[in-house]
Amino acid sequence: MGTVMEPIRIIYFSDALCVWAYIAQVRLDELQATFQDKIDIEHHFVPVFGNAREKLEQRWQDRGGLAGYSAHVLAAARNFDHITVHPDVWTQVTPASSTSCHLFLHAIQLLEIDGLVDKSARVFEKATWEFRSAFFTELADISDRQVQFAIAKKLGLPIDLIQDRIDSGAAYARLSKDFDLAKEHTVTVSPTLIFNEGRQRLNGNVGYRVIEANIRELLHNPPGEQSWC
């Protein structure tokens, strides 16, 4: 009998407020559908918008400020039919920080890890998508805790257990792990995919076929085996 190959580990970094991660979600879904148990996508967050308002106002002050950044996001979104972006994105509502979202999403992730919700339902991934969609389509201030509770309630998640994971420090621990891992792999871009224990990476708006090609190469030439390339 042949050796059973371990799933290809993909370390995936994103920011909840990043339009490119919003765009890229459909690619992750396709990867899951195509490769199923042959890959293991490990989700982490990188705080590109950890200090969103100040960062955008400073970096875009000579390019129209928040209005200029909003135009940039809308221009990017127009190239992709599978997403919707509100015409007043980033101008009518400007969330203070994505870090608050990441903390709350990690609390939801802990419910999966602790077996309190069905892991096969991919509740954490669904919640992450709901956060992104709520901001980009409805202008919801997803950095606000009450908005976060409302999204969790919409998904039928236990608010008290989520709050417990935050209050206990457990969600903060996972967030700290994200910071450490991002520093270890020098990740500053959302989204970033890391393969082959850090030896391969794809940053930013990378097409599905490129990601797929990297995975197929690893499946055909597992780490530790010789390759012609």
CATH number at residue 112: 3.40.30.10
Q: Which residue has the tokens 């980009």?
A: 136
Whether the CB-CB separation of 15 and 49 falls below 8 Å is answered with: yes
Is residue 45 situated within a structural domain? Answer: yes
Q: Does residue 107 surpass a pLDDT of 90? A: yes
pLDDT band at 223, cuts 50/70/90? low
Is residue 225 situated within a structural domain? Answer: no
130-176 per-position pLDDT tens digit: 999 999 999 999 999 999 999 999 999 999 999 999 999 999 999 99
Pure H helices in 4-138: 19-35, 52-59, 65-77, 99-113, 123-138
Is residue 1 situated within a structural domain? Answer: no
Is residue 228 situated within a structural domain? Answer: no
Q: Does residue 227 surpass a pLDDT of 70? A: no
Whether the CB-CB separation of 17 and 47 falls below 8 Å is answered with: no
Please tell me the pTM assigned to this model.
0.91
210 residue type, one letter: V
Query: Residue 73's domain spans which residues?
Result: 8-220
Is residue 229 situated within a structural domain? Answer: no
The CA distance from 203 to 178, in Å, is 17
Is residue 3 situated within a structural domain? Answer: no
Is residue 123 situated within a structural domain? Answer: yes
**Cis peptide preceding 191, ω within 30 of 0:** yes
The CA distance from 125 to 120, in Å, is 11
* Domains contained in the chain, number: 1
Mean per-residue pLDDT of the chain = 93
The CA distance from 219 to 196, in Å, is 11
The SS3 of residue 86 is coil
Is residue 142 situated within a structural domain? Answer: yes
Q: Would you state the pLDDT for residue 222?
A: 63
pLDDT band at 118, cuts 50/70/90? confident
